[in-house]
Amino acid sequence: MEQQKAVIYCRVSDPTQLTRGSGLASQETRCRDYAKYRGYEVVEVFHEKGLTGALLNRIQMQNMLRYLSKQKQEHVVIIDDISRLARDVESHIKLRMAIKNARGKLESPSIEFGEDSDSILVENMLASVSQHQRQKNAEQTKNRMMARTKNGYWCFDAPVGYRYDRVSGHSGKVLVLDEPVASVVREALEGFASGRLSTQSEVKRFLEASPHYPRGRDGLVHFQRVTNLLRRSVYAGFIDAPKWGISLQKGKHEALISFETYRKIQERLDGKQPKVVVRKDSREDFPLRGVVTCGSCDHPMTSCWSKGKSRKYPYYMCFKKGCPDYRKSIPREKLEGEFAELIKSARPTEALFKAVLTLFRKVWDDRASMQFKDKKAIESQITAVSGKIDNLLERIVDAENGTVIKAYEAKIQKLEHEKIELGEKLERFDQAQPDFDKTFRTSFEYLGNPYKLWASRKLSDRRTALKLLFKGNVPYHRNMGFRTPDFTLPFKVLGAICDPDYDMARPRGFEPLTS
């Protein structure tokens, strides 16, 4: 008599089970022992690794059904447990019928399958128990996660820049900073908030330029990942879970940025951002493309490489039809050389710069001496905001119109964010006063010589110089050169002080003395 042939089907829905006692190797061993006991010949083994869901999602299940359909005789299909076939009654019945239609006979070392009513009843009951167990585990896991989130703990996948670790004084694992990635994320977030990185495209390029920031499987940083990075309140030290009805609250982990910075990021993402003067496709060979405009028609100049007899030559030009300077090229060396002189002209005199530095230091010291008054003012603001929130909550209780209630809720959320921001400012008063020189060293180095940043020749530095120096585009006429640009406030003030048309008033004034 020919020996009965059998196939083994093993499945794990969680990749971590591959190394646990319920892993694929353990299931296969138990099924082989059962086949040996029954005298079956195992001809094929099908491993379903880390997959769950319906029949169509199971590649190995489909392969097994196709294999059984091609065989001339019935094969025994051995599974370790009924839960390895399906985790709910409906899927179990469908898979059971699919195996039967493919000339397979289901067997297991843990349950005896039969076609009589009693066996089918027991089988369905076990499938129902398996379904209930899965649903109960999911409910318990969700309830534990909700409770932990309400207590201020992040319980989802660790965001980029964080990792989970055990910290003294906390139950379970807590998010901790994951350096050096955390520093890269902090610089990207603060850069976008301040406008140094004007667009999400620039944030994307900044992250891709860092060797520490993790990429996707294709080796790229995708725009959706950048958006998620900018939208996450977890980086400001807060957590929320709207789908569980948990609003923004203080987390137990260390923040990467302040809540004020987070608010600025959200405002810029929602459209409240300054005008960008740098094109997305700016390149190192033409850093002024999109920044310099034609002095005749005010249209942004473009650039190109023109082929000569022996080599290529770089040019800027206006491509606006109807412009008197249409397609009249300007050598890159000429335009960028005059632009460098324009930046140098914005440098204040040494005496003026020292005077401004002294003035800033005096203002800094005066503000430090007024900290007590500022602290009291912020405490009063927090009290006032809390009063407004309480007032709106009372109105919600009395309101019946759904639209009105949503408007109140939106207003309360805005006030809660304002209260959080004021609370952060209040906490800073208890911290040690930062050193003036360390705080403003980089800023004053740039104010003292803006050309230094432009001369670095790095595209990112040059973009930063353009954003810090000019409020908008810079007009250039091919015959008359650069027109007076619109400088940003610091350089506009310094330029006004340096203007030769201004002079200090004499102690007795300009009018002649009278008797």
Residue 44 has pLDDT above 90, yes or no: yes
Residue 514 has pLDDT above 90, yes or no: no
Q: How far apart are CA 192 and CA 175, in angstroms?
A: 24
3-state secondary structure 309-326: CCCEEEEEEECCCCCCCE
DSSP 218: T
Select 162-269's CATH number: 3.90.1750.20, 3.90.190.20, 3.40.50.970, 3.30.420.40.
3.90.1750.20
Most confidently modeled range among 109-118, 256-265, 278-287, 465-474: 256-265
Percent of the chain with pLDDT over 90: 18
Residue 164 has pLDDT above 80, yes or no: yes
Residue 273 has pLDDT above 60, yes or no: no
356-361 average pLDDT score: 75
113-127, 202-216, 367-381: segment of lowest average pLDDT: 367-381
The pLDDT score that the predictor gives to residue 230 is 93
Residue 485 has φ and ψ, to the nearest 5°, of -80, 170
Average pLDDT, rounded, for the chain: 81
15-19, 154-158, 200-204: segment of lowest average pLDDT: 15-19
303-317, 408-422, 457-471, 487-501: segment of lowest average pLDDT: 487-501
The pLDDT score that the predictor gives to residue 83 is 79
Q: How far apart are CA 133 and CA 87, in angstroms?
A: 9
Give the pLDDT band (50/70/90) at residue 216. confident
Give the pLDDT band (50/70/90) at residue 141. confident
150 burial (CB, 10 Å; 0-12 / 13-18 / 19+) is middle
Mind listing the pLDDT tens digit for each residue in 426-449?
A: 777 666 666 666 666 666 666 777
Residue 396 has pLDDT above 90, yes or no: no
Of the two residues 315 and 495, the one the predictor is more confident about is: 315
DSSP string, 74-113: -EEEE-S-GGGT-SSHHHHHHHHHHHHHTTEEEE-SS---
CATH topology of domain 5-137: Rossmann fold (3.40.50)
Among residues 340, 284, 288, the alpha carbon closest in space to that of 452 is found at 340
Residue 53 has pLDDT above 80, yes or no: no
Q: How far apart are CA 75 and CA 90, in angstroms?
A: 24
418-423 average pLDDT score: 82
Helix (H, G, I), strand (E, B) or coil at 156: coil
Long-range contacts of 132-139 (CB under 8 A, 24+ apart): 133/83, 134/87, 134/88
The pLDDT score that the predictor gives to residue 243 is 86
DSSP string, 399-457: ---HHHHHHHHHHHHHHHHHHHHHHHHHHHTTSPPPPHHHHHHHHHHHHH-THHHHTT-
270-281 average pLDDT score: 53
The pLDDT score that the predictor gives to residue 431 is 63
Helix (H, G, I), strand (E, B) or coil at 357: helix
Q: How far apart are CA 200 and CA 150, in angstroms?
A: 32
Percent of the chain with pLDDT over 70: 84
Count the residues in the chain.
515
User: Across-strand partners of 107?
Assistant: 78
Residue 160 has pLDDT above 70, yes or no: yes
